[in-house]
Amino acid sequence: SAVISQKPSRDICQRGTSLTIQCQVDSQVTMMFWYRQQPGQSLTLIATANQGSEATYESGFVIDKFPISRPNLTFSTLTVSNMSPEDSSIYLCSGGVGLTDTQYFGPGTRLTVL
Protein backbone atom coordinates (compact mmCIF):
# COMPACT_ATOMS: atom_id res chain seq x y z
CA SER A 1 0.00 0.00 0.00
CA ALA A 2 0.96 3.66 -0.19
CA VAL A 3 0.32 6.57 2.11
CA ILE A 4 -0.37 9.85 0.36
CA SER A 5 -0.27 13.27 1.94
CA GLN A 6 -1.49 16.54 0.50
CA LYS A 7 -1.00 20.12 1.48
CA PRO A 8 -2.60 22.41 2.11
CA SER A 9 -5.57 20.53 3.53
CA ARG A 10 -7.76 23.54 2.85
CA ASP A 11 -7.49 27.11 1.69
CA ILE A 12 -9.63 30.14 1.03
CA CYS A 13 -8.42 32.18 -1.89
CA GLN A 14 -9.32 35.35 -3.71
CA ARG A 15 -10.56 35.41 -7.25
CA GLY A 16 -7.77 35.78 -9.80
CA THR A 17 -5.03 34.25 -7.64
CA SER A 18 -3.38 30.85 -8.00
CA LEU A 19 -2.88 27.99 -5.57
CA THR A 20 -0.40 25.12 -5.79
CA ILE A 21 -1.33 21.84 -4.13
CA GLN A 22 1.38 19.37 -3.26
CA CYS A 23 1.04 15.60 -3.21
CA GLN A 24 3.65 13.37 -1.59
CA VAL A 25 3.67 9.57 -1.65
CA ASP A 26 5.63 7.52 0.86
CA SER A 27 6.73 5.01 -1.76
CA GLN A 28 7.36 4.97 -5.48
CA VAL A 29 4.20 4.74 -7.54
CA THR A 30 3.91 4.22 -11.25
CA MET A 31 0.82 6.27 -11.86
CA MET A 32 -0.33 9.51 -10.24
CA PHE A 33 -3.58 11.24 -10.96
CA TRP A 34 -5.38 14.43 -9.98
CA TYR A 35 -9.12 14.51 -9.43
CA ARG A 36 -11.72 17.11 -8.58
CA GLN A 37 -14.75 16.37 -6.45
CA GLN A 38 -17.63 18.76 -5.97
CA PRO A 39 -19.56 18.34 -2.70
CA GLY A 40 -21.87 15.36 -2.93
CA GLN A 41 -20.59 14.44 -6.38
CA SER A 42 -18.36 11.81 -7.89
CA LEU A 43 -14.70 12.19 -8.75
CA THR A 44 -13.75 13.77 -12.05
CA LEU A 45 -10.32 13.00 -13.42
CA ILE A 46 -8.36 16.15 -14.26
CA ALA A 47 -5.13 14.67 -15.55
CA THR A 48 -2.50 11.98 -15.33
CA ALA A 49 0.74 13.29 -13.86
CA ASN A 50 3.64 11.89 -15.89
CA GLN A 51 7.09 11.78 -14.43
CA GLY A 52 9.45 14.13 -16.19
CA SER A 53 7.04 15.08 -18.95
CA GLU A 54 3.87 17.01 -19.56
CA ALA A 55 0.72 15.78 -17.88
CA THR A 56 -2.06 14.15 -19.89
CA TYR A 57 -5.26 16.15 -19.50
CA GLU A 58 -8.85 14.98 -19.73
CA SER A 59 -11.42 16.69 -21.86
CA GLY A 60 -12.40 20.02 -20.35
CA PHE A 61 -9.13 20.56 -18.50
CA VAL A 62 -6.16 22.45 -19.93
CA ILE A 63 -2.57 22.96 -18.93
CA ASP A 64 -2.84 26.74 -18.70
CA LYS A 65 -5.53 26.45 -16.05
CA PHE A 66 -4.20 23.39 -14.20
CA PRO A 67 -0.43 23.12 -14.68
CA ILE A 68 0.92 19.91 -13.17
CA SER A 69 4.43 18.85 -12.32
CA ARG A 70 5.85 15.48 -11.40
CA PRO A 71 9.60 15.71 -11.00
CA ASN A 72 9.97 12.20 -9.54
CA LEU A 73 8.00 9.06 -8.70
CA THR A 74 6.84 10.24 -5.29
CA PHE A 75 5.87 13.89 -5.72
CA SER A 76 3.48 15.94 -7.82
CA THR A 77 1.93 19.39 -7.76
CA LEU A 78 -1.27 20.77 -9.19
CA THR A 79 -1.74 24.50 -9.63
CA VAL A 80 -5.17 26.02 -9.95
CA SER A 81 -4.54 29.22 -11.89
CA ASN A 82 -6.49 32.43 -12.12
CA MET A 83 -9.12 31.06 -9.79
CA SER A 84 -12.81 31.83 -9.91
CA PRO A 85 -15.58 30.74 -7.52
CA GLU A 86 -16.37 27.89 -9.94
CA ASP A 87 -13.03 26.34 -9.00
CA SER A 88 -14.20 25.83 -5.42
CA SER A 89 -13.99 22.10 -4.90
CA ILE A 90 -12.02 19.31 -3.28
CA TYR A 91 -8.89 18.36 -5.17
CA LEU A 92 -7.51 14.87 -4.64
CA CYS A 93 -4.37 13.20 -5.84
CA SER A 94 -3.99 9.46 -6.10
CA GLY A 95 -1.21 7.02 -6.76
CA GLY A 96 -1.03 3.42 -7.87
CA VAL A 97 1.83 1.00 -7.45
CA GLY A 98 1.14 -0.97 -10.61
CA LEU A 99 -0.26 0.09 -13.93
CA THR A 100 -3.67 -1.39 -13.19
CA ASP A 101 -3.35 -1.52 -9.46
CA THR A 102 -5.57 0.02 -6.86
CA GLN A 103 -5.44 3.73 -6.34
CA TYR A 104 -4.53 5.21 -2.98
CA PHE A 105 -5.96 8.63 -2.39
CA GLY A 106 -4.65 11.60 -0.53
CA PRO A 107 -6.89 13.29 2.06
CA GLY A 108 -7.80 16.03 -0.40
CA THR A 109 -7.47 19.80 -0.49
CA ARG A 110 -10.67 21.74 0.11
CA LEU A 111 -10.48 24.94 -1.93
CA THR A 112 -12.87 27.85 -1.54
CA VAL A 113 -12.58 30.77 -3.94
CA LEU A 114 -14.25 34.01 -2.95
Partner 1 sequence: GQQVMQIPQYQHVQEGEDFTTYCNSSTTLSNIQWYKQRPGGHPVFLIQLVKSGEVKKQKRLTFQFGEAKKNSSLHITATQTTDVGTYFCAGVRMDSSYKLIFGSGTRLLVRP
Q: Give the residues lining the site for partner 1 (CB under 8 A).
A: 31, 33, 35, 40-45, 48, 59, 92, 94, 96, 99-100, 102-108
Report the nearest approach of partner 1 to the CB of residue 72 (Å).
19
Of 16 and 103, which has the nearer Cβ to partner 1?
A: 103
The span from the CA of 46 to the CA of 55, in Å, is: 10
Of 45 and 73, which has the nearer Cβ to partner 1?
A: 45
Report the nearest approach of partner 1 to the CB of residue 40 (Å).
8
Give the CA distances from residue 91 to residues 19, 48, 98, in Å, rounded to whole numbers and listed in that order.
11, 14, 22
The span from the CA of 5 to the CA of 86, in Å, is: 25
Of 18 and 56, which has the nearer Cβ to partner 1?
A: 56
Report the nearest approach of partner 1 to the CB of residue 71 (Å).
21
Report the nearest approach of partner 1 to the CB of residue 94 (Å).
8
Q: Count, in order, helices (H) and strands (E) of the chain.
A: 0, 11
CB-based contacts of 88: which residues, under 8 Å, 6+ apart? 111, 112, 113
